[in-house]
């Protein structure tokens, strides 16, 4: 533990020292940015996906773009409406997992959980890859190195989260509001230019797109339907992240559910507005957009190949560059804030992952250590796991958003579907007992909304699976299956252990006597303290035990023992091969065998040191001995610590760990108490 800690410290710098945590609830104006970054950030890539799917059939297919945008908007409206019902019915913040578990049973809950686990990984991979595209739009030297840049960003995010960040509402509010202002501002300005007839063309407006083989004009009906279905299901990437608020209801100010539902509505309206505006503007400006690795399908107006090294900007980048043609800073602002909100969206996953782990652990589906807020190791392992998995994806798919999107949406819609289904059962169950007509009416209405939501999300799920299975969705489904089986296994193990441990009457029998032995290695303070503590416990038999491998040292100790006039007998165990653990264990087992109804108490004097290198130098034997004695029935092991001066260092370290800030605290309604920020603030408010 000490070494790990030290090496982590070298890697990550000193951890933040935090003060006590308090509970601070979020007003709507802060809650919106805290929970919105994931959902809003998908505006940065969802419209692009619609354009590039349609481009399979050439630029003429772009006539369908706004119909698809409207279809996505309709689905999003249905989903938002559905989650407003969830927020009212489950204000505890359990989200989809709780809804599915409560209404459909633990199997459905585990399915949702495995979908969410996979989604967190993909949120990081997709958001960061998209962010890398934006960075490359603004900084041309990054073109061609997007995967490397994206990997570096994931490492950075992981490092920040491992180190612990003092979060506050403003960390979220500033970039999120900046993003809204930038995008909506750009769209409004673009709309004005459109109405005044001054909207310029995009840089790619004059390009032609060669359709993919099989999609040349005229399209067959089947090809058209398949094309539109693929474009629609890719566009549904815009829906990722809308469920976040349903996990965060407890962090809202009262009335919690109502405020959460209002925020959700606000979030949905903004997201839909942004998406449709961007698509309409891109269409009007004649943007051409194909898959990044199929750039050779783009031709100039005269049918020639594009020059080597041509880089197509993302939709938003192309639109911004066109609209702000006379004002380059406008372009840079839009691209920067978009990159920033994508980073924030990835960070959402780093925040949410440990929270999900903790909920799963409480239900026995994940190692119990994850349940405890204080278990730094479990927390860190989760972050490292998330970072490593998303880096693997980024490198495997070369940071290409389009290919990653194929994996992304399946998981999202699996949990949407199970959640809606759960909500329908929820209302049906409550309707069975509810008698008040007004309440019944509300419930029937809610159930109708959820049913509509389910029918939409079910259709999308089918379309997504059909169009994306071979494109990568199978990986997601495989990963979900893996997590599902793993979680079920963990749960079964805990159940088996619980069964084996279940109390019965036989365990109330008291041991008849306590035979205490105090391990002596030298006559120093820790030994004396252990002897004193053992005596104070007044066992039936008390003896000191010394393991001898050297006659001279043994004689010295026996002499000292006599000189000091201890009233405790000293027993010497002979160990020719300098073994310490085995003789003690054998002696303890032998005592117990002589008196099977008694208990043997082994007192181990330990001294507590501070630095990690001191821990390497001390107490290894005590550790091994304790580990080994645990296997001996009827033996209890008593550590009597003696604190060396240097232990103060370690105590400080432990305390720092305990009071550490965890990323994601803010979305669980836990904020740093502003009145206690340590001595660096000279005055108090």
Q: Residue 623 CB, nearest distance to a copy of itself (Å)? A: 9
- Answer for which of 578, 593, 684, 685 binds a copy of itself (CB under 8 A) is 578
Question: In sequence order, what are the beta bridge partners of 601?
Answer: 516, 636
Calpha distance 282→204 (Å, rounded) = 10
Instruction: Give the number of other CB atoms < 10 A from CB of residue 219.
Output: 18
Residue closer to a copy of itself, measured from CB, 179 or 603: 603
658 touches a copy of itself (CB under 8 A): yes
533 touches a copy of itself (CB under 8 A): yes
561 touches a copy of itself (CB under 8 A): no
DSSP string, 650-681: HHHHHHHHHT---TTTGGGTEEE-TT---TT-
305 touches a copy of itself (CB under 8 A): no
Residue closer to a copy of itself, measured from CB, 175 or 598: 598
441 touches a copy of itself (CB under 8 A): no
628 touches a copy of itself (CB under 8 A): yes
Q: Which residues have CB under 8 Å from 398's CB, separation 6+? A: 146, 147
Give the CA angle between residues 604, 610, 611 to the nearest 5°. Answer: 120
- Answer for which of 257, 581, 589, 656 binds a copy of itself (CB under 8 A) is 581
365 touches a copy of itself (CB under 8 A): no
Q: Residue 101 CB, nearest distance to a copy of itself (Å)? A: 16
Q: Residue 151 CB, nearest distance to a copy of itself (Å)? A: 26
Q: Are strands 21-23 and 208-209 parallel, antiparallel or unpaired?
A: unpaired
Residue closer to a copy of itself, measured from CB, 138 or 632: 632
503 touches a copy of itself (CB under 8 A): yes
Residue closer to a copy of itself, measured from CB, 258 or 628: 628
368 touches a copy of itself (CB under 8 A): yes
Q: For 603-618, give the secondary structure using H, E and C.
A: EEEEEECCCHHHHHHC
Residue closer to a copy of itself, measured from CB, 214 or 374: 374
Question: In sequence order, what are the beta bridge partners of 283?
Answer: none
Q: Residue 388 CB, nearest distance to a copy of itself (Å)? A: 17
Residue closer to a copy of itself, measured from CB, 212 or 643: 643
- Answer for which of 412, 608, 663, 672 binds a copy of itself (CB under 8 A) is 608
Q: Are 387 and 157 in contact (CB under 8 A)?
A: yes
Calpha distance 672→660 (Å, rounded) = 10
> Which run of H or of E encompasses 249?
none
Residue closer to a copy of itself, measured from CB, 538 or 685: 538
- Answer for which of 223, 582, 595, 656 binds a copy of itself (CB under 8 A) is 582
3 state DSSP class of 149: helix
Calpha distance 596→301 (Å, rounded) = 95
Calpha distance 66→284 (Å, rounded) = 11
Total binding residues toward a copy of itself, as defined by CB under 8 A: 90
Q: Which stretch binds a copy of itself (CB under 8 A): 160-168, 226-234, 283-291, 366-374?
A: 366-374
Q: Which stretch binds a copy of itself (CB under 8 A): 64-72, 184-192, 368-376, 476-484?
A: 368-376
Residue among 38, 451, 77 nearest 248 (CA)? 38
Peptide bond just before 632 cis, omega within 30 deg:
no
3 state DSSP class of 602: strand
Calpha distance 275→183 (Å, rounded) = 10
Residue closer to a copy of itself, measured from CB, 438 or 617: 617
Q: Residue 385 CB, nearest distance to a copy of itself (Å)? A: 13
Exposure string over 104-142, b if 16+ CB within 10 A, otherwise e: bebebbbbbbbbbbbbbbbbbbbbbbbbbbbbbbbeeeb
Q: Draw the binding track, 306-345, toward a copy of itself (x: CB under 8 A; -: no contact).
A: ----------------------------------------
Q: Residue 619 CB, nearest distance to a copy of itself (Å)? A: 9
Q: Which residues have CB under 8 Å from 101's CB, separation 6+? A: 94, 108, 109, 112, 363
Residue closer to a copy of itself, measured from CB, 174 or 498: 498
**Contacts of a copy of itself in 373-412 (CB under 8 A):** 373-375, 377-378
3 state DSSP class of 576: coil
Q: Residue 464 CB, nearest distance to a copy of itself (Å)? A: 35
Residue closer to a copy of itself, measured from CB, 23 or 216: 23
Q: Residue 516 CB, nearest distance to a copy of itself (Å)? A: 9
525 touches a copy of itself (CB under 8 A): yes
Residue closer to a copy of itself, measured from CB, 465 or 632: 632
Calpha distance 287→314 (Å, rounded) = 10
Residue 151's alpha-carbon distances to 37, 130, 131, 527, in angstroms, are 21, 12, 11, 53
160 touches a copy of itself (CB under 8 A): no
Q: Residue 664 CB, nearest distance to a copy of itself (Å)? A: 13
Calpha distance 180→274 (Å, rounded) = 8
Q: Residue 372 CB, nearest distance to a copy of itself (Å)? A: 6
Residue 103's alpha-carbon distances to 86, 108, 115, 432, in angstroms, are 12, 9, 17, 14
Q: Residue 645 CB, nearest distance to a copy of itself (Å)? A: 7
Q: Residue 558 CB, nearest distance to a copy of itself (Å)? A: 16
Residue closer to a copy of itself, measured from CB, 301 or 501: 501
609 touches a copy of itself (CB under 8 A): yes
Give, rounded to a whole angstrom, the gap between the first and last alpha carbons of the chain. 40
**Phi, psi of 569, rounded to the nearest 5 degrees:** -70, 145
Alpha helix ranges (H) inside 285-400: 315-323, 328-362, 376-396
645 touches a copy of itself (CB under 8 A): yes
Q: Draw the binding track, 73-112, toward a copy of itself (x: CB under 8 A; -: no contact).
A: ----------------------------------------
Q: Are 494 and 367 in contact (CB under 8 A)?
A: no
Q: Residue 21 CB, nearest distance to a copy of itself (Å)? A: 7
**Contacts of a copy of itself in 470-499 (CB under 8 A):** 490, 493-494, 497-498
- Answer for which of 150, 219, 570, 650 binds a copy of itself (CB under 8 A) is 650
Q: Residue 498 CB, nearest distance to a copy of itself (Å)? A: 7
579 touches a copy of itself (CB under 8 A): yes
167 touches a copy of itself (CB under 8 A): no
Calpha distance 338→140 (Å, rounded) = 17
- Answer for which of 104, 154, 287, 640 binds a copy of itself (CB under 8 A) is 640
**Phi, psi of 18, rounded to the nearest 5 degrees:** -115, 165
Calpha distance 343→336 (Å, rounded) = 11
Calpha distance 428→431 (Å, rounded) = 5
Residue closer to a copy of itself, measured from CB, 477 or 635: 635
- Answer for which of 304, 308, 436, 504 binds a copy of itself (CB under 8 A) is 504
Task: Show the tokens assigned to 59.
Answer: 């630029």
3 state DSSP class of 516: strand
556 touches a copy of itself (CB under 8 A): no
Q: Are 198 and 49 in contact (CB under 8 A)?
A: no
Query: Radius of gyration of the chain from Cα atoms?
Result: 32
Calpha distance 128→393 (Å, rounded) = 11
- Answer for which of 60, 201, 220, 512 binds a copy of itself (CB under 8 A) is 512
């Amino acid at each position: 533990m000490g070494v790990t800690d030290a090496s982590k410290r070298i890697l990550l710098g000193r951890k933040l020292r935090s003060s006590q945590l308090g509970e601070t609830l979020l007003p709507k104006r802060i809650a919106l940015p805290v929970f919105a970054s994931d959902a809003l950030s998908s505006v940065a890539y969802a419209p692009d996906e619609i354009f590039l799917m349609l481009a399979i059939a050439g630029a003429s297919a772009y006539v369908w773009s706004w119909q698809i945008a409207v279809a996505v908007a309709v689905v999003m409206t249905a989903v938002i409406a559905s989650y407003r019902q969830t927020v009212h019915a489950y204000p505890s913040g359990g989200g989809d997992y709780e809804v599915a578990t409560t209404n459909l049973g633990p199997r459905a809950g585990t399915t949702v959980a495995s979908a969410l686990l996979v989604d967190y990984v993909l949120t990081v991979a997709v958001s960061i890859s998209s962010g890398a595209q934006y960075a490359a739009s603004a900084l041309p030297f990054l073109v061609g190195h997007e995967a490397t840049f994206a990997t570096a960003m994931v490492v950075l995010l992981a490092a920040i989260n491992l180190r612990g960040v003092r979060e506050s509402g403003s960390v979220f509010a500033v970039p999120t509001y900046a993003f809204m202002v930038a995008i909506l501002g750009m769209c409004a300005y673009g709309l004005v230019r459109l109405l005044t007839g001054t909207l310029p063309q995009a840089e790619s407006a004059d390009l032609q797109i060669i359709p993919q083989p099989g999609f040349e004009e005229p399209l067959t009906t089947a090809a058209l339907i398949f094309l539109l279905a693929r474009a629609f299901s890719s566009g549904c990437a815009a829906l990722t992240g809308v469920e976040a608020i349903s996990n965060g209801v407890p962090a809202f100010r009262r009335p919690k559910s109502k405020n959460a539902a209002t925020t959700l509505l606000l979030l949905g309206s903004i997201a839909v507005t942004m998406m449709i505006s961007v698509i309409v503007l891109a269409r009007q400006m004649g943007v051409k957009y194909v898959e990044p690795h199929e750039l050779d399908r783009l031709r100039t107006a005269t049918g020639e190949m594009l020059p080597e090294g041509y880089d197509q900007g993302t939709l938003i980048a192309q639109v911004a560059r066109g609209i702000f043609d006379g004002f380059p800073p406008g372009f840079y602002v839009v691209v920067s804030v978009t990159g920033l909100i994508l980073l924030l969206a990835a960070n959402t996953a780093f925040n949410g992952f440990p929270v999900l782990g903790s909920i799963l652990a409480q239900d026995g589906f994940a190692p119990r250590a994850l349940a405890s807020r204080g278990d730094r190791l479990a927390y860190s392992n989760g972050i490292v796991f998330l970072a490593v998995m998303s880096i693997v994806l980024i490198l495997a798919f070369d940071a290409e958003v389009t290919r990653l999107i194929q994996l992304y949406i399946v998981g999202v819609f699996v949990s949407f579907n199970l959640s809606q289904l759960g909500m329908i059962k929820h209302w049906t169950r409550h309707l069975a007992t509810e008698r008040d007509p007004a309440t019944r009416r509300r419930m029937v209405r809610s159930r109708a909304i959820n049913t509509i939501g389910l029918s939409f999300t079910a259709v999308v799920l089918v379309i997504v699976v059909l169009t994306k299975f071979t494109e990568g969705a199978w990986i997601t489904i495989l990963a979900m299956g893996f997590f599902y089986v793993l979680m079920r296994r963990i749960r079964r193990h805990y159940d088996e252990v619980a069964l084996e441990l279940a109390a019965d009457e036989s365990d109330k029998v008291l041991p008849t006597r306590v035979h205490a032995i105090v391990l002596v290695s030298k006559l120093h303070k820790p030994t004396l303290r252990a002897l004193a503590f053992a005596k104070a416990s007044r066992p039936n038999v008390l003896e000191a035990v010394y393991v001898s491998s050297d006659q001279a040292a043994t004689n010295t100790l026996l002499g000292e023992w006599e000189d000091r006039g201890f009233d405790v007998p000293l027993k010497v165990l002979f160990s020719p091969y300098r073994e310490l653990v085995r003789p003690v264990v054998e002696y303890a087992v032998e005592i117990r065998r002589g008196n099977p109804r008694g208990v043997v108490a082994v007192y181990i004097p330990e001294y507590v040191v501070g630095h990690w290198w001191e821990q390497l130098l001390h107490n290894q034997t005590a550790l091994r001995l304790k580990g080994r004695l645990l296997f001996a029935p009827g033996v209890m092991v008593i550590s009597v610590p003696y604190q060396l001066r240097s232990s103060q260092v370690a105590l400080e370290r432990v305390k720092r760990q305990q009071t550490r800030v965890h990323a994601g605290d803010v979305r669980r309604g836990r904020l740093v108490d502003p009145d206690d920020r340590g001595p660096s603030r000279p005055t108090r408010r």
